[in-house]
């Protein structure tokens, strides 16, 4: 008997890893560039801490916007734009048949409840 082991990493672990790894590189890089720009223009002597704070704030805003866009479910499916009658026709090869069967099963369950 063959045994299989699932070594896949959960999605949330990958998101957190990317958040910290990519975010750390991005934030420190932007903060260093802002510090060099401010010092180069002669606006301040040591502007790394305010630059770091600004970079962290900007990164958190970008992450919040990304999270809000990826978690919204209000009709954002590509199937919303396709009429039901085209599931088994033009869109059959791209999963239309399975989509039609799923929607038919949901309708049957809803009709059974009433």
Tell me how far apart the alpha carbons of residues 3 and 87 are, in angstroms, rounded to a whole number.
Answer: 38
DSSP conformation class of 82: S
| pTM value surpassing 0.85 | no
Average pLDDT on 9-34 reads 83
Give me the percent of the chain exceeding a pLDDT of 70.
90
Q: What is the mean pLDDT of the chain?
A: 81
pLDDT value for 2: 67
The runs of H, that is alpha helices, within the chain are: 11-41, 48-71, 97-113
């Amino acid at each position: 008997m063959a045994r299989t082991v699932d070594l896949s990493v959960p999605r949330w672990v990958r998101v957190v890893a990317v958040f910290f790894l990519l975010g750390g590189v991005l934030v420190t890089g932007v903060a260093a560039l802002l510090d060099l720009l401010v010092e180069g223009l002669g606006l301040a002597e040591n502007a790394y801490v305010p630059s770091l704070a600004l970079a962290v704030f900007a990164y958190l805003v970008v992450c919040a916007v990304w999270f809000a866009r990826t978690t919204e479910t209000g009709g954002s499916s590509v199937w919303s734009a396709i009429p039901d009658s085209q599931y088994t026709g033009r869109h059959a090869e791209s999963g239309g048949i399975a989509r039609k069967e799923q929607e038919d099963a949901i309708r049957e369950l809803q009709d059974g409840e009433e």
